[in-house]
Structure 1
C-alpha cells in the first residue's frame, strides 16, 4: 500500500461521510454526513469549514450555477440556495418508498445527473440508478443493492458504477451528448479480498479512483480495469474521493464510522474524518447540472 502526504481537512467525525464534490469557481469543497443530515462546506483557500443541517438525509450535490445547487436527498432532488440554504423540492424520487434513500451520484459531462438509491438497511436489490435528463427522471438500472462508484470518462462516452454488495464495477457505453446508456452494462472488474468498492471519480487521464470501504485505501484502475495503485487512507471506512484545489491535484476522501462499535473506533482513531491527499495526478472540473429550463 502506497503512503502519500496526507492531512486532515476536517476533524469533524462523519457518521457516514459521502458525496464530496468541488466548486472550482469558489475554491469550495462540499460533502455530506448522510445519516446525520449534514452538508459540509470547506473553503480551501482560508481553511474555513461550515456545517449545514438539512433536515433530511442527503448524499450528493451538483452545481447548477453560482447561486444554486441540486441536492440528492432521501425523498427527491432539491434545489438549494447557496446564499441562505433554503431548499425547494425539484423532483420527487422514490418519495413513496420509506424504505429507501439516495446514495452515490455524479454529474455527467453533458449535465445529466445520475443518482443511486438503496435500502436504508442495504436490503438486497432494493436500490436503482436513475438519470435526470432535461428535467425528467428515468430509471437506468434496477435491482441494485448498494449503488456506488458512479463516474464518467473524460469524453463522456463511458459510464461506471458498482454494486458494493457484489463488489462488481460495471462499464457502460454512453451517448456523450446526453449521458444516457447506449447499451448494456458489462463487468469491468470483480474485486476480491478485503473491503468493498465504494465511491469513485475519474481523473483527467481516464483512470478510476475508487475508495475501498473497510480497507482504508483508494485504488486506482485503468479504463480497462487494470489495478495501478493502492493509496493508504488514515481511516478504515474510506467512502468517496473527489479531486480538489486550484489545479485539481489533491484528492479529498471522506470516511465513516457507521456500524463501528466502541472497540472498532478505538483502533481506528481517525474514523469519520475527511482527508486531503497529495496523489501526483490531476482531476477534471465537475460539470454543472442542466435543468429543463436551460
Structure 2
C-alpha cells in the first residue's frame, strides 16, 4: 500500500461521511454526515470548517450557481441558499418510501445529475439510480442494494457505478450531450479481498479513484479495470473521494464509523475523520448542475 503525505482536514468524526465535492470558485470543500444530517463546509486555505445542521439525512451536493446548491436528501432534491442555508423542495424522490434514503451521486459533464437511493438498512435490491436531466427525473437502474461509485469519463461518453453489496463496478455507454444511457451496463471489474467498492471520482486522464470501505485505502483503476495504485487512508472505512485545491492535485477522502463497536473504534483512532491526500493527480473540476434546457 502506497503512503502519501496526508493531513486531517476536519477532526470532527462523521458517523457516515459521504458526498464530498469542491467549489473551485470559492476554494471550498463540502461533504455530509448522512446519518447525523450534517453538511460540512471547509475553506481550504484558511482551514476554517463550518457545520450546518440540515434536519434530515442528505448525501450529495451539486453547484447550481454562485448562490445556490442542489442537495440530494432522504425524501427529495432541495435547492439550498448558500447565504442563509434555506432549503426549498425542488423535486420529491422516493418521498413515499420512508424506508429509503439517498446515497451516492455526481454531476455528469453535461450537467445531468445521477442520484442513488438505497434502503436505510441496506435491504437487498431496494436501491435505484436516477437521473435529473433538465429538471426531469427518470429511473435508470433498479434492484441495486448499495449504489456507489457514480462517476463519469472526462468526455462524458462512459458512466460508472457500483453495487457495494456485490463488490462489482459497472460501466455503461452514455450520450455525452445528455448523460443518459445508450445501452445496458456491463461489469468492468469485481473487487476481491478486503473491503468493498464505495465512492469514486474520475480524473482528467480517465483514471477511476475508488474509496475502499473497510480497506483503509483508495484504489486507482484504468478505464479497462486494471488496478494501478493503492493509497493508504488513515481510517478503515474510507467512503468517498473528491479532487480539491486550485490545481485539483489533492484528494479529499471522507470516512465513517458506522457499525463499528467501541473496540473497533479504539483500534481505528482516526475513524470518521476527513482527510486530504497529496496524490499529485490531474483532477477535474465538478461541473455545475443544469436544471433547465438552455
Once the two structures are superposed, the pairs formed by residues 228-267 of structure 1 within 5 Å of their partners are 228-267=228-267
Q: Distance in 2 between matches of 1:258 and 1:137?
A: 30
The secondary structure found in structure 1 opposite 2:128 is: strand
CA distance in 1 between counterparts of 2:285 and 2:17 reads 21
Distance in 1 between residues matched to 2:288 and 2:255, nearest whole Å: 25
How far did 1:21 drift?
Answer: 0.1
The aligned residue for residue 87 of structure 1 is 87
Q: In structure 2, how many angstroms separate the alpha carbons of the residues matched to 1:156 and 1:134?
A: 16
2-structure distance, mates of 1:282, 1:273: 24
Structure 2: how far apart are the matches of 1:185 and 1:280? 31
Partner of 1:62: 62
Residue of structure 2 in register with 1:140 after alignment: 140
Secondary structure of 2:263's match?
Answer: helix
Q: Please state how far the C-alpha of 1:292 moved relative to its aligned partner.
A: 2.1
Cα–Cα, structure 1 residues 178 and 293, in superposed 2: closer, same or farther, change >3 Å?
A: closer
Q: Deviations over 1:33-75 (max 9, x none)?
A: 0000000000001111000000100000000000000000000
TM-score normalised per structure 1: 0.99
Identify the residue that residue 175 of structure 1 maps to in structure 2. Answer: 175
Q: Which residue of 2 aligns with 1:108?
A: 108
Aligned counterparts of 1:171 and 1:59: Cα–Cα separation in 2: 22
- Deviation by residue 1:201-259 (Cα, 9 ceiling, x = unmatched): 00010000000000100000000000000000000000000000000000000000000
Contiguous gaps of at least 5 residues in structure 2: none
Mapped to 1, the partners of 2:8 and 2:144 lie a distance apart of: 33
Instruction: Using the TM superposition, give the Cα deviation of residue 282 of structure 1 relative to its aligned residue in structure 2, in angstroms.
Output: 1.6
User: Is the counterpart of residue 154 in structure 1 residue 154 in structure 2?
Assistant: yes
What are the superposed Cα offsets for residues 97-156 of structure 1, whole Å, 9 maximum, x if unpaired?
A: 000000000000000000000000000000000000010100000010000000000000
User: SS of the counterpart of 1:160?
Assistant: strand
Distance 1:185 1:44 in 2: 37
Counterpart position of 1:196: 196
**Tell me, what secondary structure is at the counterpart of 2:269?**
coil
SS at structure 1 position matched to 2:264: helix
In the TM superposition, residue 293 of structure 1 has moved relative to its aligned partner by: 6.0
* Cα drift, residue 280 of structure 1: 1.7
**What is aligned with 1:19?**
19
How many correspondences in the alignment? 294
> Which residue is 1:130 aligned to?
130
Are 2:29 and 1:29 aligned? yes
Aligned to 2:225: 225
Aligned to 1:241, what secondary structure does the other structure show? strand
Point out where structure 1 has 5 or more consecutive residues left out of the alignment. none
Residue 283 of structure 2: aligned partner: 283
